[in-house]
Amino acid sequence: MPVSYFLVLSALLFSIGVYGVLARQNAVLVLLSIELMLNAVNINLVAFSALLGQTGVPGQVFALFVIAVAAAEVGIGLAIVILIFRNRQSVDVEEMSLMKW
Amino acid sequence: MDLLAQGLQLGSSVDWHAVAPDVILTVTACVVLVADLFLADRSKWLAMPLSAAGIVVTLVAVVSLAGQRRTTLGGAYEIDSFALLLKGVFCIIGLMVLAISFNYFRTGVRFQGEYYFLMLCSLLGGLVMSSARDLITVFIAIELISVPGFVMTGLRKNDAKSNEAALKFFLFGVLSTAVMLYGMSLIYGVTGHTLLSGIRAALVVGRDLSPAARSAVGISVPGDPIIVLSVFFIIVGFAFKISAVPFHFWAPDTYEGAPSPVAAFLSTASKIGGFVGLLVLMFTAFPDVADVWRPVFAVLATATMTVGNLIALRQRHIIRLLAYSGIAQSGYILVTFALIDPASPAVNSQALESALVYISIYAVMDLGAFAAAIAFARRGGTYFIDDYAGLWQRSPVLATLLAGFMLSLAGAPPMAGAWAKLFVFLAAINAQVYWLAVVMGANAVIAAFYYLAIVRRMFLEPPEIEGPVEVPFLLRTAMGAAALALFVAFIYPPIITTLAGGSIF
């Protein structure tokens, strides 16, 4: 399969993620959208790695690091979301406006 | 047995002296975390001297490498004078932040031990970033800087502002990482390398090949849409980290909501980490495609300086003022990126040198200003600038020190901030980018208004509250040392310029 199929798929995923980040109001869904963007990156990396064959190992290593870091980030993100839910019984991003300008 | 042999071989292929500073800091962080478990509540503060000792040993390891040039981990990790200078700067930031944090966390906030552990981890990210010469290492370093930052920002668990600050910082931070990674994945696909030197070589080959040969090899030209796109994504990702306009919205809110010493840390270590990453990528991986990204930086620098300064004019809260002033200062550093010229190594080295001088001086003066603000806000004091009225009559020393930091941030003598601005200005003149030099000059004038307004309020207005401001010993030491360093560097600038001057990749 040509690599362009994978690139289009990942571009679509990335765009859906960006849309989700901008349009969603629930903090958990924003987090989920960011995960989509990170997975788009992984698809890119793995596709390029497969394309490069023998010399493509760094791409796979990169993808593994991205997966590990994404997991760590989600852990911290959910912790922050839970903290906010405890303090205000809501995880609506639009309501986060104690500080402006 | 085979695995063991392989492991040993891997161990001996690492240049342990080169990675010693990072290893020492890692060990320190782990020791602090474990020690915190066993310390009783009233002796938790011991985590701070422990961290300080670790950073001092790290600094010794950095100094022991002085003048050397080493490459290890397959070229992904490099020790040169650029890396060493920045590692030194990070260590000094670490020590100053510890001094600023101590009384704040000892009296006010829980999670002392955790705070020091997270701070050390974030600092470690800065040290790794200074030496990173590989996309993967750069990515890991920037994450190591940011991720503990999210937690530190939200450390005041029951404070709604702290929660909100943490969430904003987290969402913007992770979003910027995703955008940056997408750019990195594309550039990896185009060049087939994650090593920055490999990326540069591939891009140069692509530039020199004929179109037919290019399509045969499968390498793109600079200016190809995919290269423009990926470089642009990487720049946007880092622009969030360094809070460049228009990606700066999170910074003032995060700094205001975070515990103030954490804000001081974020506005120096975290921001400088982003700048180091950008410097490494732009100067070692993409200098030959500078035509693509130079205009982006010119626009970013202009917008960042101007917007940062204009919004700072109307701030009433000292931390928010420092946040916007920090954004404007980022703009001055961004100017150096807009000067890079693939054809002229002299211009490039001057741009890099002025960026390093600016970064080093900015770290010290910004931390000094934060320390003064924190000292003033202790014990029922406030963060509002109106309350600084008549500080000269209440606490002459604190007023003088704060005035010194404000003058330095404004770029006025007799503080080193003047040289920082002047060097960037001269670099712009030398590169014949006159319009950016003019923008810089105009912005320095706007900035003088709000910096000097604080000085005027402290010295010329009568105090509304009587009585001196009590400043603890460590805060006093930190501020005194910072002010002294800035003054000495003003009198004798070679102290910093010789260190920065040798730091060409």
**Residue B295 structure tokens:** 């205009």
| Distances from the Cα of B489 to the Cα of B269, B480, B482, angstroms | 20, 14, 11
Q: Where are the alpha helices (DSSP H) in B411-433?
A: 417-430
Q: What is the ipTM of this complex?
A: 0.95
Share of chain B above pLDDT 70, in %: 94
Q: Is residue B504 scored above 70 in pLDDT?
A: no
Look at B16-30, B164-178, B316-330, B383-397 and tell me which has the smallest mean pLDDT.
B383-397
- pLDDT (tens digit per residue) in A51-95: 888 888 899 999 999 999 999 999 999 999 999 998 888 777 777
- pLDDT (tens digit per residue) in B119-162: 999 999 999 999 999 999 999 999 999 999 999 999 888 888 88
Neighbouring C-alpha atoms within 13 Å toward the C-beta of B462: 1
Are B471 and B398 spatial neighbours (Cβ–Cβ below 8 Å)?
Answer: yes
- pLDDT (tens digit per residue) in B67-93: 888 888 888 899 988 999 999 999 999
Q: Give the whole-angstrom CA distance, residue B183 versus residue B178.
A: 9
- pLDDT (tens digit per residue) in B269-315: 999 999 999 999 998 888 888 888 899 999 999 999 999 999 999 89
- The four Cα atoms B284, B286, B289, B292 give a dihedral, to 10 degrees, of -130
Q: CB of B167 within 8 Å of any CB in chain A?
A: yes
Q: Is residue B502 scored above 70 in pLDDT?
A: no
Neighbours of A8 (CB within 10 A): 10
Q: Is residue A97 scored above 80 in pLDDT?
A: no
- pLDDT (tens digit per residue) in B411-437: 988 899 999 999 999 999 999 999 999
- The topology under which CATH files domain A3-95 is Helix Hairpins (1.10.287)
Which 3-state string (H, E, C) describes B223-278?
Answer: CCHHHHHHHHHHHHHHHHHCCCCCCCCHHHHHHHHCCHHHHHHHHHHHHHHHHHHH
DSSP B220: P
**Model-level pTM?**
0.93
**Residue A47 structure tokens:** 């596709």
- pLDDT (tens digit per residue) in B160-216: 888 899 999 999 999 999 999 999 999 998 888 899 998 888 888 766 665 655 555
- The pLDDT, as a whole number, for residue A100 is 65
Report residue B445: phi and psi, to 5°.
-70, -45
Q: CB of B226 within 8 Å of any CB in chain A?
A: no
Q: Give the whole-angstrom CA distance, residue B183 versus residue B135.
A: 11
- The pLDDT, as a whole number, for residue B493 is 86
Q: Is residue B94 scored above 90 in pLDDT?
A: yes
DSSP B315: -
Residues facing A92 on adjacent strands: A26
Q: Give the whole-angstrom CA distance, residue B133 versus residue B394.
A: 51
- E-state strands within B242-381: none
Neighbouring C-alpha atoms within 13 Å toward the C-beta of B1: 0
Q: Is residue B410 scored above 80 in pLDDT?
A: yes
Are B407 and B499 spatial neighbours (Cβ–Cβ below 8 Å)?
Answer: no
Q: Is residue B23 scored above 90 in pLDDT?
A: yes
- Residue with the two structure tokens 């006159």: B434
Look at B149-153, B223-227, B246-250, B398-402 and tell me which has the smallest mean pLDDT.
B223-227
Mean pLDDT for B383-393 is 87
Q: CB of B311 within 8 Å of any CB in chain A?
A: yes
Q: Give the whole-angstrom CA distance, residue B150 versus residue B254.
A: 10
- The pLDDT, as a whole number, for residue B338 is 92
- Angle B417-430/B473-491 helices, nearest 10 degrees? 40
Q: Give the whole-angstrom CA distance, residue B300 versus residue B334.
A: 7
| Interface list for chain A against chain B, based on CB atoms closer than 8 Å | 3, 7, 14, 17, 21, 27, 30-31, 34, 37-38, 40-41, 44-45, 47-48, 51-52, 55-56, 58-59, 61-62, 65-66, 69, 72-73, 76-77, 79-81, 83-84, 87-88, 93, 96, 98-101
- The pLDDT, as a whole number, for residue B96 is 95
- The pLDDT, as a whole number, for residue A56 is 84
Would you call the peptide bond into B468 cis, given omega within 30 degrees of 0 as the criterion? no
Indicate the pLDDT class of residue B223, thresholds 50, 70 and 90.
low
In sequence order, what are the residues at sequence separation of 6 or more whose Cβ sits closer than 8 angstroms to the Cβ of residue B195?
A: A58, B74, B75, B76, B133, B134, B135
Q: Give the whole-angstrom CA distance, residue B126 versus residue B277.
A: 9
Q: Note whether A99 contacts B185, CB cutoff 8 Å.
A: no
Residue ranges covered by each domain of chain A: 3-95
Which residues of A are less than 8 Å from B147 in CB distance? 69, 72-73, 76
For residue B380, with 0-12 CB atoms within 10 Å meaning exposed, 13-18 middle and 19 or more buried, which class applies? Answer: exposed
Q: Note whether B171 contacts A30, CB cutoff 8 Å.
A: yes
Helix (H) or strand (E) holding B134: none
- The four Cα atoms B161, B312, B335, B199 give a dihedral, to 10 degrees, of 10
